Amino acid sequence: MATWLEGLIALVLIIGGVFLLIGSIGLVRLPDLYTRLHGPTKATTLGMAGLLLASSVVSSITQGSISVHEWLITLFLLITAPVSANMIAKTAMHHDLTPWKRTKGQELVDPASRQAPPSDHHSVKDGKLP
Amino acid sequence: MLTWAVIIVAILICIALFLNLWRLVQGPSLQDRILALDTMYINSIALIILYGIHMGTGLYFEAALLIAMLGFVSTSALCKYLLRGDLIE
Amino acid sequence: MFTVKESRFLPMPFHSLLLFVVWLLLNNTMAFGHILLALFFGWSIPKLVSILKHGHPTIKRPWLTVRYFFMVMKDIITANIEVALMVLGPLKKLQPGFAAIPLDITSDLGVTLLASTISLTPGTVSAEISEDRKWLYVHALHLDNADELIAQVKQRYEIPLKEILGC
């Protein structure tokens, strides 16, 4: 393997690893569930893409033929990461999890948990599931 | 150079896994724990892929794909359970 | 304008293409036998399951789809770097917030694609949709101005998606 190619792969690997770590740091550091969702959905997806790119190039070189099946995992994660984030956020809203005190637009949580339009947030205040 | 990169990234991912474990134990809400598990399975896919690079084989690809699929299904099943209290209506 | 006709031979052309590509990716090969097998699966599986589905989403502008895909990829990378800086930066500067985005798209596929794109790209996660499908609730990690965010999402993602799906 040429030195420049090896260096490039190493760089991509380390960038991917750093993004994975940043996603997990966000999970620990951020103040409430809604902000914590951002770390894993975004940083982790990009980190995985970097790692799988490196893996694809390495196995292409060692096998002598182009290996692209790693992209299947990337594709799968790109499709599923927003769906699972959405489901977790939905669950949190339906369970009336209170957001961080500095969050703007907190009055939207109540209509969102009833799947109502944002205008009638003062009509029903019990916040129970319909 | 690649060997060193693989070791460094493995250390980074292990730290990430420990951080996820901390969030999983700490909570405070059930949704936080689900999110921690979700991140944990993605990190473990990364670790498996990395092991594949280290050993120079493509054998671990299928394992990684299986974890990706099972992880997504279990995350959505847990969320559905919390939302409705029931999986199959 | 290019529309995909509903044909009896290939009832779901995009699913056929996806099955073909995924089969070749799974086996990681371009061997002739596998291409034949992939062609067979890509033809037979959609034909078998096409009775089960109702409602046919069609793609009106294939080239715009490709452009949209690459734009989203670029946005994912820039958004990731932004989010990474926010996660590592001081928490005092962080100003999270909720916003309700009025939707013009009506089809299921359109709303799903828009919500997924929003979750992946500009520092926002889509959280809930109102029952009448007119409002999408999003949570932003850093919200300066809700109207600005709504305008950006509508202009950058919703208008191209509407053109692609033609609804």
Does residue C73 belong to the interface with chain A, where contact is any CB pair within 8 Å?
A: no
Chain A residue with CA closest to B81: the answer is: A91
Sequence letter at residue A60: S
Q: Which domain holds residue B42?
A: 2-84
B70 CA: distance to closest CA in chain A (Å): 11
Is B77 within the bounds of a domain? yes
Nearest CB among A27, A55, A91 relative to B31 is that of A91
How far is CA A35 from each of CA A46, A85, B46, rounded to the nearest angstrom? Answer: 18, 11, 23
Closest by CA position to C163, among listed C72, C57, C66, C60: C60
Residue A78 has pLDDT above 80, yes or no: yes
Mean pLDDT along residues B12-40: 88
Does residue B29 belong to the interface with chain A, where contact is any CB pair within 8 Å?
A: yes
CA B19 to chain CA centroid, Å, is 12
Is B13 within the bounds of a domain? yes
**Contacts of residue C139, Cβ cutoff 8 Å, sequence gap at least 6:** A34, A35, A37, A89, C96, C97, C98, C99, C124, C125, C127
Nearest CB among A19, A103, A109 relative to C84 is that of A19
| Number of CB atoms found within 10 A of residue B67's CB | 16
Dihedral (Cα; C71, C74, C76, C79), 10-degree rounding: -110
Closest by CA position to B33, among listed B47, B45, B43, B22: B22
Region for A116 from its dihedrals, namely left if φ exceeds 0, alpha if ψ lies in -120 to 50, beta otherwise: beta
Angle in degrees, 0-180, between the axes of helices A70-94 and A44-63, rounded to the nearest 10: 170
More confident residue, B77 or A126: B77
Chains that touch C (3 or more CB pairs under 8 A): A
- Residue pair C61/C164 in contact (Cβ under 8 Å)? The answer is yes
Predicted local confidence at residue A120, as pLDDT:
56
Nearest CB among A46, A78, A86 relative to C115 is that of A86
Give this complex's ipTM: 0.85
Predicted local confidence at residue A98, as pLDDT:
75
| 10-residue mean pLDDT series, chain C (167 residues) | 54 79 80 86 82 66 81 84 82 80 79 83 77 80 79 80 75
Residue A129 has pLDDT above 50, yes or no: no
Closest by CA position to B79, among listed B19, B10, B30, B18: B30
Is B89 within the bounds of a domain? no
Chain A residue with CA closest to C140: the answer is: A35
Nearest CB among B12, B75, B83 relative to A20 is that of B12
Dihedral (Cα; C38, C44, C46, C51), 10-degree rounding: -170
Alpha-carbon gap, residue B15 to B49, rounded angstroms: 17
DSSP state, C55?
Answer: S
- Which residues of A are less than 8 Å from C20 in CB distance? none
Helix (H) or strand (E) holding C69: helix C62-88
| Number of CB atoms found within 10 A of residue A8's CB | 13
Give residue-wise pLDDT tens across range A96-123: 777 777 777 777 777 767 777 776 544 4
Extents of the domains making up chain C: 62-165
- Which residues of C are less than 8 Å from A37 in CB distance? 125, 139
A and B: number of Cβ contacts within 8 A: 152
Does residue C103 belong to the interface with chain A, where contact is any CB pair within 8 Å?
A: no
Counting the structural domains of chain B, the total is: 1
Give residue-wise pLDDT tens across range B27-61: 788 888 888 988 898 899 889 988 888 887 778 88
Put simply, the answer to whether C84 touches A71 (Cβ < 8 Å) is no
Tell me the CATH number at B12: 1.10.287
- Which residues of A are less than 8 Å from C94 in CB distance? 30-31, 35, 102
B89 CA: distance to closest CA in chain A (Å): 17
Q: Is the dihedral of CA B24, B25, B29, B30 positive or negative?
A: positive
